[in-house]
Amino acid sequence: MYKFISDPQQIEEKSMAIIDELLGERAFPPGAAEVIKRVIHATADLEYGELTVFSPGALEAARSALKGRGCQLVADTQMIVAGINKGLLARCGGEAVSFVDDREVRELAAKKGITRSMAAMRHAASLFPRGIYVIGNAPTALFELLQLVQGGVLRPALVVGVPVGFVGAAEAKEALMQTDLPSITTRGRKGGSTVAVAVVNALLKLFL
């Protein structure tokens, strides 16, 4: 019978040691390694070492935003909100929110014939034009965010844009990488709420 480890700290330490061994001599910029390893830890997918992309100044922007009082994180799913380390976020007076299930957002989506994720971005932009935006599920949310930025309605302090899927996900992330927004993203189809949570929690541990 397999002798499993029951201590959470030992499990994490052993996992990180295995990740270090599997990554070998691969070098990452300061700060980026912690984020990438946390994503690999959450997904058991070493390919994120190649797929994860940091825009110039992304980590510095994350630090500034998280150390500013009252930092607001806007997510495209409640799953992301549930997974973020609330204790660390509270240290900067921050809050994580998602509007995708709000009645007002559902009504806007139905009226305009758009996805609820798009409507949620429009709603969030009017409330938090300088927040940290975390998108892990819906490519349409990321496309809408970029449209809002282009229209001068929104200027996020940081975008964690890692939507997953076969329709529009890779294209939305490529469009994000073409902007000057501070961002952390993943190339191709891979991503998801689990990846988004891992990135945010890694940033919280790095800077708070």
Q: Which residues pair with 139 in a beta bridge?
A: none
52-207: CATH superfamily:
Cobalamin biosynthesis CobH/CbiC, precorrin-8X methylmutase (3.40.50.10230)
**Where is pLDDT greater, at 43 or 5?**
43
| Residue with token string 């990740």 | 19
Instruction: Read off the pLDDT band of 70 (50, 70, 90).
Output: confident
Domain limits, the chain: 52-207
Q: Is a pLDDT exceeding 80 seen at residue 1?
A: no
Q: Is a pLDDT exceeding 90 seen at residue 183?
A: yes
Return the DSSP state at 47: T
Strands 158-161 and 132-135: parallel
Per-residue pLDDT averaged across 118-139, rounded? 97
Q: How far, CA to CA in Å, does 191 sit from each of 46, 147, 150, 176?
A: 13, 21, 24, 14
Instruction: Read off the pLDDT band of 63 (50, 70, 90).
Output: very high
pLDDT of residue 6: 77
Instruction: Read off the pLDDT band of 92 (50, 70, 90).
Output: confident
Contact 201, 82 (CB under 8 A): no
Surface-to-core class of residue 140, CB atoms within 10 Å of its CB (0-12 exposed, 13-18 middle, 19+ buried): buried
The count of other CB atoms within 10 Å of the CB of residue 127 is 11
123 belongs to the catalytic site: no
Classify the C-alpha dihedral 136-141-147-153 as positive or negative.
negative
pLDDT of residue 3: 74
pLDDT tens, position by position, 73-89: 999 999 999 999 999 99
pLDDT of residue 12: 85
The count of other CB atoms within 10 Å of the CB of residue 125 is 22
Instruction: Read off the pLDDT band of 114 (50, 70, 90).
Output: very high
pLDDT of residue 62: 96
pLDDT of residue 189: 97
The percentage of residues in the chain with a pLDDT greater than 90, rounded to a whole number, is 84
Q: Is a pLDDT exceeding 90 seen at residue 46?
A: yes
Catalytic residue among 23, 28, 41, 177: 41
Return the DSSP state at 100: T
pLDDT of residue 84: 97
Q: Is a pLDDT exceeding 80 seen at residue 4?
A: no
Contact 59, 34 (CB under 8 A): no
